[in-house]
Chain A
């Protein structure tokens, strides 16, 4: 029973890290990405391949995830520099759809539809295993806190101000000397690497990954987490992650829902949540009541 809750908590932390990353993009920089699951997947694959073929050391694998994700996130940064708002959403959608196909087709790297199995348990400092759910949970919590710290350090100071300026008026931001290209690219790379690290932890958690975990559904899920908790707030994404990770678990306890319909019901609730939130409380659970967005 304890293991069950620990696994649940671990999943919440993993998605929490991803959600914090998306919040940097959506909440702070106003870069509306529906491709976050792509980088979640890239990080997962990178870490998995490193663990299987080289070493399951968690620092090395997370490093690999960060490195690969950071480079590939430039694919998202590029359109972010060219267009914004509506256009960018569609571009990110496009990236998500193409990536889904790539994950499925790149047999040699990702294992195609079948995915990658047999991901070894993570270790640290050579031989100390982090393979138990509890140890992985504690490690992930540590990474989460580190991630929060970085966000705090950046967003409460000049970086956050600069991103806010860009969101409100790119032209005026340039007029006071802000290098908008550099700032946006930094935000995209930063936000996506969070997803990459989360993906790495995910790969270790489940020990098996396949393209089904990195589709538009997951991008939508992470977006719902950010929106539900409150985009632009510090803890909002975490609140959203916790609630939406617990939701499917809670649904399994409902007696009248047949197991096959749980997925559908889940999706229904996500969708309805988003619609109702936007009508009645667009700032999310943690956000200010009368947020001007």
Chain B
């Protein structure tokens, strides 16, 4: 039973990580920008949701706000920060430092306006129910499952069946061919950032409803999503999902076996192991150095 409990808990967190990882992977794959500020998108989106609900607005408006803020923030970051840097032949170093700085800016701004304590809009859906002896599941779990599957399915279909989606995939294989294919690079990158950032909204909403959103949450979530994309294999959406789930399981497994304190570290131990043993991740292409 304990094992199943861990698996369910692991899946619950893992799917959220998977969504974040998928968003990041999509953006990185299509634009080659190491969007380390994706966690900030998560935070902004979460606070938008929480604020709406605290103002008494219905859930669907909150969700919509979360989505809109996520997309807007991602596009804004692309336009104001990443693109000017890339215009000046920005290297990985410059992009990463700027992204890192953005995360800190958002974190401190949120801290200033909302304080450091987690803000939550818990509902009955997050309270665990004993479905089987010693097996506790919160009603929110199947919801997370469904939302994750729908979101990822939607994105996957988009990438697979629409011509725009196809061009995004082509983009990630050969970035230099963008213009040869008649694609406007600006539009393509905005599309990637838009969709990728939108994928941050469901996790943000769900975390806001369960553990609560706090300013530092972005950093932790971002780290785990970075870890999941690497574990799963950078450039592979399926990999990001697999990596996210794996790390979610590792985290929850660690809580059961060791102390809660080590749960955060568990994910990173897995990451470290992958980087040493198999840097290309589970599904990634071989890394050339």
User: Which A residues contact B (CB, under 8 angstroms)?
Assistant: 26, 30, 32, 78-79, 82-91, 93-95, 97-98, 101-102, 104-105, 170-171, 216, 220, 223-224, 227, 231, 261, 264-265, 267-268, 270-275, 277-279, 282, 292-293
Instruction: Specify which of A89, A104, A277 is in contact with B96 (CB 8 Å cutoff).
Output: A89
Name 22 A/B residue pairs within 8 A (Cβ), A-sorted: A30-B93, A32-B93, A86-B34, A86-B234, A89-B96, A90-B230, A95-B268, A97-B223, A97-B265, A98-B265, A216-B219, A231-B93, A264-B108, A270-B101, A270-B104, A271-B104, A271-B106, A274-B97, A278-B81, A278-B95, A278-B98, A293-B93
Instruction: Report how far A282 CA is from B69 CA in the complex, Å.
Output: 29
Given contacts A268-B112, A273-B101, A275-B102, list 19 more A-B pairs with CB under 8 A. Answer: A26-B93, A32-B96, A83-B287, A86-B96, A97-B223, A98-B269, A101-B261, A101-B262, A102-B265, A220-B104, A223-B97, A231-B93, A264-B112, A268-B105, A271-B100, A272-B101, A282-B88, A282-B94, A293-B91
Instruction: Report how far A274 CA is from B106 CA in the complex, Å.
Output: 13
Q: Which residues of B contact A264 (CB under 8 A)?
A: 108, 111-112
Q: Which residues of A contact B108 (CB under 8 A)?
A: 264-265, 267-268, 271
Shortest CB distance B150–A (Å): 29
Q: Determine if A279 and B81 form an interchain contact, defined as CB atoms under 8 angstroms apart.
A: yes
B90 interfacial contact with A, CB 8 Å: yes
Instruction: Report how far A61 CA is from B169 CA in the complex, Å.
Output: 56
Q: Which residues of A contact B94 (CB under 8 A)?
A: 278, 282, 293
Closest 10 pairs (CB-CB, A-B): A274-B101, A271-B104, A94-B268, A271-B105, A278-B98, A268-B108, A275-B101, A267-B108, A101-B265, A271-B101
Among B43-51, B53-61, B193-201, B271-279, the stretch in contact with A = B271-279
Chain A residue, CB-CB nearest to B109: A268
Number of interface residues of B (CB under 8 A): 48
Chain B residue, CB-CB nearest to A104: B261
Instruction: Report how far A274 CA is from B95 CA in the complex, Å.
Output: 10
Q: Determine if B96 and A82 form an interchain contact, defined as CB atoms under 8 angstroms apart.
A: no
Secondary structure call for the A interface: helix
Q: Determine if A90 and B276 form an interchain contact, defined as CB atoms under 8 angstroms apart.
A: no
* Total A-B residue contacts, Cβ distance less than 8 Å: 140
Interface centre among A26, A89, A261, A277 (most CB of B within 10 A): A89
B26 interfacial contact with A, CB 8 Å: no
Instruction: Report how far A273 CA is from B219 CA in the complex, Å.
Output: 18
Secondary structure call for the B interface: helix
Chain B residue, CB-CB nearest to A93: B223
Chain A residue, CB-CB nearest to B215: A264
B89 interfacial contact with A, CB 8 Å: yes
Q: Which residues of A contact B269 (CB under 8 A)?
A: 94, 98
Instruction: Specify which of B95, B103, B275, B276 is in contact with A271 (CB 8 Å cutoff).
Output: B103
Q: Which residues of A contact B265 (CB under 8 A)?
A: 97-98, 101-102
Q: A98-B265, A216-B219, A293-B94 are in contact. Are A91 and B105 (CB under 8 A)?
A: no
Q: Which residues of B contact A268 (CB under 8 A)?
A: 104-105, 108-109, 112
Annotate B54-87 by CB proximity to A: 1 below 8 A, 0 otherwise: 0000000000000000000000000001001100
Shortest CB distance B234–A (Å): 8
Instruction: Report how far A79 CA is from B93 CA in the complex, Å.
Output: 18
Shortest CB distance B41–A (Å): 15
Instruction: Specify which of A98, A265, A292 is in contact with B89 (CB 8 Å cutoff).
Output: A292
Q: Determine if A83 and B279 form an interchain contact, defined as CB atoms under 8 angstroms apart.
A: yes
Q: Determine if B98 and A275 form an interchain contact, defined as CB atoms under 8 angstroms apart.
A: yes
Q: Determine if A275 and B289 form an interchain contact, defined as CB atoms under 8 angstroms apart.
A: no
Shortest CB distance B259–A (Å): 7
Shortest CB distance A95–B (Å): 7
Q: Which residues of B contact A293 (CB under 8 A)?
A: 90-91, 93-94
Q: Which residues of B contact A91 (CB under 8 A)?
A: 271-272, 275
Instruction: Report how far A266 CA is from B99 CA in the complex, Å.
Output: 18
B226 interfacial contact with A, CB 8 Å: yes
Shortest CB distance B227–A (Å): 6
